[in-house]
Structure 1
């Protein structure tokens, strides 16, 4: 009975959470669909019961993942709870619970980026929130390009920059308080500059995003001696 109650709670949570609903669609099947396949393929009642049990367990794990996210549990805590903490890379890739851990990480990062964008935070603040401030040299960037945290940072940079591009082009949007946060590190600004170049940003947009603008007009880029003498000109050269 307790399990059925937990299942009901799971369904309620899933209905309230669109993100959880999308993965639930991939993990669960309707009872009607199961019955139809049972008739078509000659599945026995025992097999059908096992299928339902498996789906119920999947939904229950989704409920736990949602709770871990809301409770702000750490990656280490969730890995241990899913019995993934003592596995090597090969065993981890094959484990049935890996999809739940991946979902947990993706949702946690998605929530972080959404909140940061609503608050209009500079990219360096997100860099720190993703624990990328452990990178102390731009030479280390090549080692993290495919890391989940850097990919999340890349998504935020694109969101932030797209907003600024709209403003530069005369559109509407929330004007960032600062383009380059005080204390931003060389690896962060370098990584951001590389991402700007990959997106094909114009020279003027790059100047705005790097804070290379006139004091009285945050959307008018510097030129000539003013540009070359700016302390962050090296990043524009990199761009």
Structure 2
């Protein structure tokens, strides 16, 4: 069955149209952020936000460059390919697409979702499978980037946040770009934790280019994910005297946010005893005392 799937997929697109994505290219296509950020120190290019239009244009241009004779031969088997493909379970197709790192725009089209919106899109039989596929390839990409040692600040810049100030952090926290950044911080931490003591080369924990906004966002994510104070100190490089001085304000902010979150959990636990209103008042007081 897998062989049939491979044959049908290869026949369904021209040779030049098949994508060749690497871990330096995001398979996600719903971003509206900057592309092509260059990390001079690592001499690598981080291409994060590839758009659906870019994918489609690549296919269209390759199709135009094919000889007419080739198109005619392909046309002779198109109906057969379509019939075979229809018989293959969608989940099996998804596994193949994932193995070959097919971008979301490609899969969206294959699932019959291209051009749909609103209720027509969300009610489609393949919509939930498409969301699952997007989540899966996003995680694969983030894990691959983390294992490649890309600093969290590279992702921050690629999301278009390099000019964001600490005061404006609240304005970006509900954006798609920040969601991806937050997930990357988690993936980066998981990679660090799995690498400690393994003998493998450790990635650079904090980029020297990191802005106050990125560092603030990162320590807040550490607080939200329950990282220990010792872990945060290590990640910030506070074992050295210079690191302790440079990153002390961010470590203090981490402790304040962590304390406020503990107060939130405590207040939630007392809701049944004192009522919601009382818990909220206690929570507001705790947060005001901790973070101002």
Q: TM-score, normalised by structure 1?
A: 0.54
Q: Residues 72-115 of structure 1: CA distance to partner in whole angstroms, max 9, x if unpaired?
A: 44333332333323333443322211133223212312322332
Confirm or deny that 1:190 pairs with 2:216: yes
Confirm or deny that 1:212 pairs with 2:238: yes
The question of whether the paired residues in 1 share the 8 Å contact of 2:111 and 2:126 is answered with yes
Distance between the aligned counterparts of 1:8 and 1:198, measured in 2?
A: 43
Distance between the aligned counterparts of 1:140 and 1:199, measured in 2?
A: 21
Distance between the aligned counterparts of 1:126 and 1:58, measured in 2?
A: 40
Confirm or deny that 1:238 pairs with 2:253: yes
Residues 1:180 and 1:4: Cα distance change in structure 2 (over 3 Å): closer
1:146 Cα deviation from its structure 2 partner: 10
Structure with the greater relative contact order (CA < 8 A, sep ≥ 6): 1 or 2?
2
Alignment match, 2:132: 103
Q: Residues 198-237 of structure 1: CA distance to partner in whole angstroms, max 9, x if unpaired?
A: 23333332122123331xxxxxxx48xx734x1x443223
Structure 1 residue runs without a partner (length 5+): 11-55, 215-221
Residues 1:6 and 1:83: Cα distance change in structure 2 (over 3 Å): same
Distance between the aligned counterparts of 1:76 and 1:186, measured in 2?
A: 35
Alignment match, 1:113: 142
Match of 2:202 among 162, 167, 176: 176
Confirm or deny that 1:92 pairs with 2:121: yes
Match of 2:94 among 47, 62, 65: 65
The question of whether the paired residues in 1 share the 8 Å contact of 2:146 and 2:184 is answered with no
Alignment match, 2:175: 144
Q: Residues 52-76 of structure 1: CA distance to partner in whole angstroms, max 9, x if unpaired?
A: xxxx958443344344434444333
Distance between the aligned counterparts of 2:239 and 2:150, measured in 1?
A: 19
Equivalent residues, number = 174
Q: SS of the counterpart of 1:143?
A: coil
1:150 Cα deviation from its structure 2 partner: 4.5
Structure 2 residue runs without a partner (length 5+): 9-84, 255-292
Residues 1:146 and 1:72: Cα distance change in structure 2 (over 3 Å): closer
Q: SS of the counterpart of 2:222?
A: helix
The question of whether the paired residues in 1 share the 8 Å contact of 2:149 and 2:204 is answered with no
Root mean square deviation of aligned Cα: 3.9
